Amino acid sequence: MDRWPTGRLLSTAARLVEHSWNEKLGAIGLTHAGVIAMEVLSANGPMTQAQLAHLVRVQAQTMGKTLSRLEAHGHISRQRSDSDRRSQVVSLTDRGREAVGEAADMERSVLAATSIDPDVLRQELQSVVRVLAIRASADLKIVVDAGSDTAAGSSA
């Protein structure tokens, strides 16, 4: 690892954290993808499946699979839109709001095994994401900025 480029270290660390976190999340019927969707709903309120897929930056079909799993575990509900009967409005349930908090605690527990300061790591990663997001696209910057409001209370 001493000779690995920083990008490889970062991507490997991200995969290992996600794998460990997914193991813990599975106990409450969640995946990393599900937590991301629920965090967006928590920050922005109910929205259509298409809007949620756009904000999370996945295909609508992929989001549909994620939402089916979340709905089966009682974390979200879907209702036909009053304004467009072809669309479904996705809402976070009380159980889903609790699960978002549990997921944040689980994420912190994954990083607790390291000797680094999670707050410092978080600040550094936020800096990397902000700078690269500005270069990548205006849409991504909007998602990053919207997500920073929900993550402000999290120290992991």
Domain assignment present for 63: yes
Least confident span in 18-27, 114-123, 143-152: 143-152
Please determine, for residue 151, whether its predicted confidence score (pLDDT) is greater than 70. Answer: no
Percentage of the chain lying above the pLDDT 70 cut: 86
Q: Cα(15)–Cα(32) distance, rounded to whole angstroms? A: 11
Read off the pLDDT of residues 97-144 as tens digits, 9 standing for 90 and up: 999 999 988 888 888 888 888 889 889 989 988 887 777 665 554 555
- Give residue 69's domain range: 6-114
pLDDT of residue 142: 56
110 CB-near residues (< 8 Å, 6+ apart): 17, 20, 21, 24, 156
pLDDT band (50, 70, 90) for residue 155: very low
DSSP H or E stretch at residue 80: strand 76-80
pLDDT of residue 78: 94
Domain assignment present for 104: yes
Domain assignment present for 96: yes
Domain assignment present for 21: yes
Domain assignment present for 72: yes
Nearest to 91, CA basis, from 109, 70, 111: 70
Please determine, for residue 149, whether its predicted confidence score (pLDDT) is greater than 70. Answer: no
Q: Number of folded domains in the chain?
A: 1
